[in-house]
Structure 1
Amino acid sequence: MKITVMSFNLRYDKPDPGMGQWEKRVGAIASVIQHYQPDLLGTQEGKPHQLRDLQTLIPEYKFIGGDRTGTGDGEHCAIFYNTQRLQLQKTQDFYLSDTPEIPGSITWETRLPRMATWANFVVGNSSISLTIVNTHLDHENAKARELGAALVSLRLMEFPSEDYLLLTGDFNANPRTLARMILADNHKIQDALATFPLEEQKTFHEFTGEAWDAIDTIYCDRRFQVEQVIIDREQWEGVWPSDHFPVIVKLSVENR
C-alpha cells in the first residue's frame, strides 16, 4: 500500500495585501494539492470560509475538524482526506492545555488557544487502520510549545498499537528545540525530514520564496517506508500559495 501525506499552513485570511490575498492564492493552493494528490492533508490556520473555498476547488476531498476557539469561527487544524481512498471511522479535537477536552481552553500563558484534530481511517479495501493527528503549536511561548508537544506525543501513544500513525503540523519550532526533541523521542514515529540538512528543512518564507525557519514537517509511523520527501518551493499560477512551503511525504507499507 502506498499513501501520500501533505502538511500545509494555509495562512489565515487577515486579509493580506496584494498577491497575498486569499482570493488570489486559493486557486494556487488547489493546484498544488491536485498536483501531488495527497490521500491526507493536514492544514493549519484555515478559517471556515477558507476551508469551504478550498473544498469547492477540490471536490474529491472532504475536511474535518473544529476550530481552536470552540465557536466554529476561528482557525482550524482541519484534515482533508480523499474520500475515494479513505473511509473515515472517527474524529475528534483536543486542546493544548491542562484541560484538553474543553474547547478554547488556555492554561499555559498563551494569548491564543491551541489545538489538535485527529482522525482514524480505513485505507481502501485493506485492513490497515490509519490515524493522523494535525496540530499547530504556539508561536510565542516556548514552554507552551513544549507542553503542547508532550500532550500530542502522549495522545499518539494512546492510540491502538495496530494504528499506523501520522502527525502533521506547524510546530513553530525547529528540530533543535526541546519541543521537537520531545516528539523525536516518541518511539512510534519518525520525522520524515530528519535525514535532510537543517538548511534544507526550512519552510517558512513570509511570501518571499526564501525560507528561513524549519517549522513544518510530517512525522510518520516507523513501520512506514519513506519513499520520497518533498518541500515544494515553487510559485503556482504566478503566486506563492502561502507564506509556508508545503511538505509532501510519500510512504509505503506491505499490504495486509
Structure 2
Amino acid sequence: MKKIVIYTLISFIFSVFASSCEDNKDNSLYYPDFTWDTGDGEEDEDPVTETSMRVATYNLQVETGTGWTNRRERVAQLIKDYDFEICGFEEASWEQRSYLGTQLASDYQILAYGRDTGNDDNKAGEMSGILYKKSRYTLLDAGRFWFSETPEIPSNGWDETNFKRFCVWGKFKDNKTQKEFYLFETHMPLADNARKHACQMLVDAVSDKAKDNTPAFCTGDFNATPDAPEIATTICQSGILKDAYREAAVQHGALFTFPSKKTRIDFIFVKHATVLSTRTIVSSLSDHYPMVIVVEI
C-alpha cells in the first residue's frame, strides 16, 4: 500500500513538472512561482537624495514560446516596484518590446533596435534598448553600432558567427538637474576574441561620445565574469569606466546575476558618477537577475 502511495505521488509530481515544461518553451519557469525579493525592510532601503538617479540593467530572456505570457505582467510590475528610472535591456523579442512599451506607456518611453537590421520593427531580430521615465529624462540623440570590423552596418564580428552583436546608445538630459549623460546598452558576444574586441570598442565609443566630464553608463549582459581580462583590464583599467558594483557604498541582494552558474555577468559601468548603492534583485522572471543602482552625476 505504501509503495502504491509513493508511486502515485511521484507520478503526480512528474506530471505537474511535465505540464509546466510543455508550457515553458523559453525555459522561463526556473522556480515554481514568479517571485522576487521586494526589499521592503527598513534596513534594506536604498539611499536616495533629491537628485539621485536609479539606473538598471535587465536581460529579459528572449521569448521563444508561451513562457513570456506567464511572466510579462510581473516583469512590468517589477520595473515599477523597483522604480527603474532608466534601464538598459537586452534579449527582447518584438512582442516583448511592444508589450512593455504599451504596458508602461503612461510613465516610460522606449528606445530600441533589432540586431539583424538596426530597425525598431517586427522584422529587426532580437532587440536591445533603453527604457526611461519620460518625466525625468529627455532623449537628445541616439544610435547603434555593431561589434565588428564594419560597425555601421548589421554584421558579425570576428569569431562571433551566430549573432550580430551590437550596442544601443542614447544621449539624455536629466530634467531635474539639466545635466546631460549617455547610456550605452549592450549584449556582448559569447565568442572570446569577438568579446575582447567588443569591450575595447565600447570603451572607445564612451571616450568618443561622452567627452571630458560628461557622465556615462554602460549596461548589459557582458557574457564574462569580473576577472575576465576584457572586464578587469580592458574596461576597468581603461581610466574611463568603473564597475558600479565595486564602487557602491552599499550593496543589496544577490552576489551574482546569472543564478544557474552563480556568476556575475551583468554589469553597470559608470563614468563620472558616484554610486550610492547597488541592488541585485533575486527574481525568477528571467534566467538573469536584474540590477539597479542609485547614483549621482
Q: Which category of TM-score, normalised to the shorter sequence, fits these structures?
A: 0.7 to 0.9
**Does the aligned pair in 2 maintain the 1:153–1:183 contact within 8 Å?**
yes
Quote how far apart the aligned CAs of 1:162 are.
Answer: 4.0
The letter of the residue matching 1:157 is: S
Aligned residue for 2:295? 251
Do 1:5 and 1:249's aligned partners in 2 also have CA atoms closer than 8 Å? yes
- Structure 2: tracts of 5 or more residues without a match: 1-50
Note if 1:93 corresponds to 2:137: no
Partner of 2:112: 65
How many residues end up aligned between the 2 structures? Answer: 236
Pair member with larger Rg: 2
Alignment partner, residue 226 of structure 1? 275
Q: Which residue of 2 aligns with 1:161?
A: 212
Equivalence for 1:187: 239
Match of 1:39 among 85, 92, 107: 85
| 1:28 and 2:78 correspond | no
Report the CA distance between 1:194 and its aligned residue. 2.2
8 Å contact 1:65–1:93 — kept in the other structure? no
CA contact (8 A) 2:174 2:180 kept: yes
Preserved contact between residue 203 and residue 240 of structure 2 (Cα < 8 Å): no
- Which of 94, 98, 102 is the aligned partner of 1:56? 102
Q: Which runs of 5+ in 1 are unaligned?
A: 235-239
Q: Secondary structure at the match of 2:70?
A: helix
Structure 1 Cα separation of the partners of residues 101 and 156 of structure 2: 30
SS of equivalent residue, structure 1 residue 194: helix
1:106 to 127, 141, 156: 156
Among 173, 185, 191, which residue is 2:224 paired with?
Answer: 173
Shift of 1:189: 1.9
Provide the alpha-carbon RMSD of the alignment.
Answer: 1.9
- Say whether residues 1:78 and 2:124 are aligned partners: no
Any conservation in 2 of the 1:93–1:117 contact (CA below 8 Å)? yes
Matching residue's letter, 1:217: F
- How far residue 98 of structure 1 moved from its aligned partner, in angstroms, is 0.8
Shift of 1:173: 0.2
- Whether 1:145 aligns to 2:198 is no
Following superposition, the deviation at residue 193 of structure 1 comes to 1.3
2:175 aligned partner: 124
Identity %: 24
TM-score by length of 2: 0.75
AA partner of residue 73 (structure 1)? A
* AA of the residue aligned to 1:203: T
Structure 2 distance, partners of 1:158, 1:252, is: 22
Deviations 1:29-49 (A, max 9, x none): 111110111221100101111
Structure-1 separation of matches of 2:264 and 2:152: 30
Which amino acid counterpart does residue 239 of structure 2 have in structure 1?
H
Q: SS state of the match for residue 119, structure 1?
A: strand
